[in-house]
């Protein structure tokens, strides 16, 4: 009886080692494939990308609020820096919508628009559409509330049309 129990004990221990080996290999290989596919540049990025992978990624609320405050003061570069800190993985539709909007407001001109900033704004607006096609901002201070409106406005700003030569254009207002 005792021998049998001891035999069982030994077998269990051996299989524990085999299971541990398989777990180490599976977890290790998964981690390595994850790291090589996501290409993190720092330890902070490893942590952020890991949180994205396991679904615990969250926007930094205080940085987001700082970004909103800077956006309302028309300090768009500071706003975008805060939004980047708030959402380093660019996975939050609301944050990316404000990023796109900041490019629009900074690039908007009564006579002509800044094409470089509008192009960046357009790619940010497209990112919002990819993240959440039905996104709608609840901010009452924004004239354009959806990424589709913002994208259309940015695309319109990048095109050269006969209406661009209309002198009454200087009376239009920034949205």
Partner 1 sequence: MTENETGPSEDLIETASESLERPRKQGGLSDTKIRRYTRVYVVLPIVFLLVTLFGGMRFAAADHSFLFLPPPLICLIFGAVTIFLIFRARLIDFESWFDERHPILENAANAGVILVIFAASVQVYNLLLPESGLANWVVTALFVWTLWNDIFADFDQKKLLRSFAGLFAIAFVTKYLVLSNLAVKNDASWLQRILENPGKEAATWFLDLPVYSPATGYLQFFTILLFLFGLFLTPRTANTKKLSS
Q: What does the block give as tokens for 59?
A: 């926007």
- Max distance between CA atoms of the chain, in angstroms, equals 102
Cα–Cα separations (whole angstroms), residue 91 to 48, 127, 157: 11, 9, 26
Q: How far is the CB of 50 from partner 1 (least distance, A)?
A: 14
How many residues touch partner 1 under the rule CB under 8 A: the total is 26
Nearer to partner 1 among residue 8 and residue 10 (C-beta)? 10
Instruction: Rule CB under 8 A: choose which of 17, 55, 140, 173 binds partner 1.
Output: 17
Instruction: Rule CB under 8 A: choose which of 8, 22, 51, 152 binds partner 1.
Output: 22
d(CA 99, CA 67): 9
Considering only residues 35 to 94 of the shown chain, the ones binding partner 1 according to CB under 8 A are: 35-36, 39-42
Contact 83, 115 (CB under 8 A): no
Q: How far is the CB of 9 from partner 1 (least distance, A)?
A: 10
Contact 115, 85 (CB under 8 A): no
Q: How far is the CB of 12 from partner 1 (least distance, A)?
A: 12
Strands (E), 98-141: none
**Positions in the binding site for partner 1 (CB under 8 A):** 2-3, 6, 10, 13-15, 17-22, 24-26, 28-29, 31-32, 35-36, 39-42
């Amino acid at each position: 009886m005792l021998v049998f129990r001891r035999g069982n004990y030994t077998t269990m221990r051996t299989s524990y080692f085999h299971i541990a080996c398989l777990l180490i290999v599976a977890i290790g290989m998964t981690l390595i494939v994850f790291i090589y596919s996501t290409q993190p540049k720092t330890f902070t990025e490893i942590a952020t990308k890991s949180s994205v992978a396991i679904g615990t990624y969250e926007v930094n609320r205080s940085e987001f609020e700082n970004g909103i405050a800077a956006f309302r003061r028309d300090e768009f570069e500071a706003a975008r820096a805060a939004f980047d800190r708030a959402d380093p993985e660019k996975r939050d539709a609301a944050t990316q919508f404000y990023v796109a909007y900041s490019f629009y407001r900074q690039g908007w001109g009564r006579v002509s628009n800044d094409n470089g900033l509008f192009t960046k704004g357009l790619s940010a607006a497209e990112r919002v559409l990819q993240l959440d096609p039905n996104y709608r901002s609840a901010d009452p201070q924004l004239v354009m509330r959806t990424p589709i409106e913002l994208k259309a406005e940015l695309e319109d700003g990048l095109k050269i049309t006969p209406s661009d030569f209309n002198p009454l254009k200087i009376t239009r207002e920034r949205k």
